[in-house]
Chains A and B, each alone.
Chain A
Amino acid sequence: MNNKITLGCLMLAAALLLAVPASGMTDSLEDVSNPDAKCLKCHSKNLKKKLEDGERMSLKVMASDFEESVHSVIGCTGCHRDVGKSKHPSKKPISNRRDYSIAQNETCGQCHAAKAKAYEGSIHASLSGSGDAGAPLCSDCHKTHAVQSMAVYEPVTGEPCKACHEGIYDAYSQSVHGLARSNGNVIRESHIQAPICADCHSAHDIDAVAAIDHLQTTCLDCHEGASLAHEQWLPNAGMHMESVSCAACHSPVAERRIDLQLYDNLGQVPVGKNENHAAIRERLDEIDTGGDGLGPVELWKLVRLTSKDGKATDVTLRGRMEVTRGVDAHRLAPRSEAVRSCDNCHQGRLAGSMRRAGHASSCWTACWCLP
Chain B
Amino acid sequence: MTTLYAMNDHFEPDRQEKVYLHPLPVRIWHWLNALGFLLLILTGFQLRYVDLFSLMSFETAVKLHNWVGFAVIANWFLWFFYYVTSDRVTNYHPDLDAASFFRRYFSQISYYSSGIFTGAERPHKVQPHDKFNAMQKLTYQFVMFITAPVTFFTGLMMWDVKRFEGLIELAGGIRVVNTIHVMMFILFVFFIIIHAYMGVLGKKASSHYKEMFTGYEEPHD
Partners in one complex: yes
Chain B residues near A241 (CB, 8 Å)? 162
CA distance A241 to B57 in the complex (A): 21
Among B158, B161, B173, B174: residue with most chain A CB under 10 A: B161
Chain B residues near A235 (CB, 8 Å)? 62-63, 66, 159
| Segment from A59-67, A191-199, A217-225, A339-347 that makes contact with B | A339-347
Q: Contact at A362–B47, with CB atoms within 8 Å?
A: yes
Contact among A238, A242, A347, A368 for B50, CB-based, below 8 A:
A347
| Segment from A32-40, A246-254, A348-356 that makes contact with B | A348-356
Interface size class of A (residues with CB under 8 A): 20 to 34
CA distance A239 to B174 in the complex (A): 11
Chain A residues near B48 (CB, 8 Å)? 360-362
Contact with A along B119-141 (1 / 0, CB 8 A): 00000000000000000000000
Chain B residues near A236 (CB, 8 Å)? 158-162
Contact with A along B168-208 (1 / 0, CB 8 A): 10000111001000000000000000000000000000000
Size of the chain B interface, CB-CB below 8 angstroms = 23
Chain A residues near B63 (CB, 8 Å)? 235
Chain B residues near A351 (CB, 8 Å)? 50-51
CA distance A348 to B58 in the complex (A): 11
Contact among B54, B160, B175, B178 for A238, CB-based, below 8 A:
B160
Judge if B18 is at the interface, Cβ distance under 8 Å: no
Chain B residues near A343 (CB, 8 Å)? 57-59
Judge if B103 is at the interface, Cβ distance under 8 Å: no
A-B contact pairs, 27 of them (CB 8 A): A235-B63, A235-B159, A236-B161, A236-B162, A237-B162, A238-B160, A239-B160, A239-B161, A239-B162, A341-B59, A342-B58, A343-B57, A343-B58, A346-B58, A347-B50, A347-B51, A347-B58, A361-B48, A361-B49, A361-B50, A362-B48, A362-B50, A364-B161, A365-B174, A365-B175, A370-B173, A370-B174
Please report B residues at the A interface, Cβ cutoff 8 Å: 47-51, 54, 57-59, 62-63, 66, 158-163, 168, 173-175, 178
The 6 closest A-B pairs by CB, nearest first: A238-B162, A370-B173, A239-B161, A346-B58, A342-B58, A342-B59
